Chains A and B, each alone.
Chain A
Amino acid sequence: MSDEMTDEQKEAFVAKLRREVGSTGTPTVARDPVNQPMIRHWCDAMEDANPLYTDPGAASQGPHGEVAAPPAMLNAWTMIGLVPRINDPKDPASGVYAMLDEAGYVGVVATNSEHVYHRYLKLGDHLTGTVKLVDVSEEKQTALGIGHFVTTETEYLDQNGGHVGSMFFRILKFRPGTGRTASSGDDTANERPPRPRPSRNQDTDFFWQGSRVGELRIQKCLNCGYLQHPPGTRCPACGSTDMGYVVASGKGTLYSYVVSHHPRVPSFDYPLNIGLVELEEGVRLVTNITDCDADQLKVGMPLQAWHMQTHEDVSIPVFRPARAPRNPSTLTFDEVSVGDELPLCPIPLTPTLIVSTAIASRDYQDVHHDRDMALKKGSEDIFMNILTSSGLSARYISDWAGPDAVFKNLKIRLGAPNYPYDCMTMSGSVTAKRESDGEDIVEVSFRGQNSRGPHVTGTVELALARK
């Protein structure tokens, strides 16, 4: 173990790790050519509905003239898969990983991925990837643990030897249990007293019973149909006492809001976003706006309800930004201005999302699907793999820009891990516009933030048509 190493031993260890820096490994030939089933699986898991990836009719009208693979899949094609078929002892990157494993740096997280796309991949393209070891860092203390960053660069060639893209990739190999946050974690959250319990009686029980089963129930007069919140005992419109409820769609807009800083009640996180939401059914209610920074709150923003469990037998309806609908037409270069903001997009992190996207990207690392193994390797739970962070970022950008926007590159950096049951909210803005090699390029900077902080930050360059 490296903490037992002397400085000289450490130096020698790093030198050994770095011996192969600059070397390339054996080219990896993709097991299958670019194919529709893998694309479809990816699109399903990422919830990417761009028809250019799956619909030959729509794709024939698009910029590629035929079905293309989602560009963010670039490194999925040559992933080694569940049963590694290539075991090259001379592969420099694999060799470094093995040495680090042996020395106790068994934890692994990817931290950077930078794709450059020379062209989109078509069905039948057969990729070969060649990995070059670019750098091994000194030993570093990180939030996750003590470890080394390993950087590689992969060139992707097609069946004709043509360059289709490249990837700059960095991972951290770390020793579990040596992180700065190793012992703190969620202790304070566990000690937090529960929120004030809603008082309820016969007149209001229906509301809380609804929230417990995931329904947002609004009192409705069964005589005249008048809706009201908070509930009463008699219809103010017609005087009927025959009161029932409707289940609201959960869609609403932010009518007003506050951000509470002081005094701090121990049951809440501060700053605390509290909103007054107007439901599409017409009534308003006080609630929390989750998965959104205070400075992202705007009167009028679209919201979607979800139900937060606060006690064993109580859930309360709260709201997060609504996912903007996919843009079915494509923005033109002229329609976009520097400073334009992309709509917020929440991505609830279900275990299904994390596991299905890992498998769809052919990433069978156990930390992305096996909780016991993830815990053993120093993680709090299974966590999202970096291909998915790329894939979801690409989906977010493409849903805004439209199906015909052409990705030129996609560069991301990872921070806080995406664990299950959290929510990552994407945000972004246009940061540059330029002409380059005869193409009209728009640069977008984006961020995906979960409850722990930014999970992903990145930039993407898109080529957009003029007109």
Chain B
Amino acid sequence: MSLNYAYHSAIAGIGATPFTKDSGRTPMDQAVEACLAACEDAGLPPEKINGMVTYSAEQNPEIEVARNLGIDELTHFSMVHHGGGAACGVVAVACQAIYSGAADYVLCYRAFNERSWHRFGAGVQDRPAGAEASEVSFSWSSPFGLVTPASWVAMFATRYMHEYGATTEDFGRVSVVDRDFAATNPYAHFFQRPITLEDHQNSRWIVEPLRLLDCCQETDGAQALLVTTAERAKDLKQKPAVIASAAQGVAEDQHMMRSYYRETITGIPEMGLCARQLYQSSGLSADDIQTAIIYDHFTPLVLPQLEEFGFCERGEAKDFIRDGHLGRDGRLPINTNGGQLGEAYIHGLNGIAEGVRQIRGTSVNQIDNVENVLATAGTAVPTSALILSQPR
């Protein structure tokens, strides 16, 4: 796997709707608005788009979005599997399509009413019983009440705490960092509403050891990214955020959110696989990353991600966090948009947009001298990650 498309493409445009708890609009309407906004941001007429990539759980088919955008022809269209785990995967696939010549301008998008239409956090409790492998896989957890994303992640968290001595306060520190950045981001749901560690510890249990403030929001909204070659991007309106590399990963004995049967469950080997590919193909290392978007659907899995990417040793993320390295003046400020706990939960795509702003120098919480930004996708599922870099 040499990922020949390293540094070949760039994110040239980003666009989003407002992030709300009750949009009062259809997800389709929001998808179209976000896609148009991304085109407008790049200064590209939408009819130039000839590729579209989205990811599973998306209910707005690309053909309908294309029709609404006035796109006549698509030469690449694909759906990447595994929901939030594909947030960077859609960009990887867009890079592949562009590098191969299958498409020139690719839109990646996510749109939903995940709060007002249905509660994403409710999980699979109403999933019908069938005989297909995808349905049968839930038999090993749902009859026991392990039906929600929070509960699936909590199982990893307990073991991680047991083996490494992390505490719920360490999870809380991630939450505090996210909310601190959200507090100064007018686009964030929790704008001007920071929390303390005490607030975190006082918040109610959702699934022990996860408290309410360890869990991301449920959001109505849409986010789109426009990907093209780094060369073409130079001719568009914004400074390109070059995609140094983007990779996907599935590791041994992978299950959807419940890879509990591996020899150890305190790491995220599929994220480690992404890290190896990214570093190898881009020539970069952890030392070259100034800021990161670390997928934070639930705080506990932020810790092993830091370890998989080599920002600290295995089991030492708690110390890295206690030392304040994730905050404004830390070694690796993360989720400067407020993350999915503080800004919005658009299955990771809003985080990638923040990575683009950090490269452009336009973030409301701009970090100094940003050369490279890491972004990761949903954990516990088959996952993906990418690195954005300054144009050369």
Contacts and interface: CB of A to CB of B under 8 A. Distances in A.
A434 interface: no
A262 B125 CA distance: 12
A257 B155 contact: yes
B151 A274 contact: yes
Contacts of A294: 208
Interface residues of A, number: 40
B151 to A, nearest CB: 5
A74 to B, nearest CB: 43
Nearest to A294: B208
Interface residues of B, number: 46
A245 to B, nearest CB: 15
A261 B205 contact: yes
A258 to B, nearest CB: 4
A197 B144 contact: no
Contacts of B158: 256-258, 299
B362 interface: no
A203 interface: yes
Interface string B254-292: 010010110001000000000000000000000000000
Given A196-B129, A204-B139, A318-B144, A259 B207 contact: yes
B206 interface: yes
Contacts of A274: 144-146, 151, 155
B63 interface: no
B184 interface: no
A309 B146 CA distance: 18
A200 B162 contact: no
A267 B143 CA distance: 10
B24 interface: no
A256 B156 contact: yes
Contact of B121 (A258, A263, A287): A263
Interface stretch (B102-110, B130-138, B230-238, B326-334): B130-138
Nearest to A299: B162
Interface in B196-244: 204-210
B136 A201 contact: yes
A285 B143 CA distance: 12
Interface in B137-172: 137-148, 151, 154-159, 162
Nearest to A283: B261
Contact of A196 (B143, B207, B258, B261): B143
Interface in A250-280: 255-263, 265, 267-268, 271-272, 274, 276
Interface of A: 195-201, 203-204, 228-230, 236, 255-263, 265, 267-268, 271-272, 274, 276, 283-288, 294, 299, 310, 316, 318
12 contacts: A196-B138, A204-B136, A256-B260, A258-B154, A259-B207, A261-B207, A263-B123, A268-B145, A276-B159, A286-B155, A310-B143, A318-B144
Sorted from nearest, which 7 A-B pairs have the closest CB atoms? A198-B139, A259-B208, A256-B159, A258-B154, A201-B131, A199-B129, A196-B142
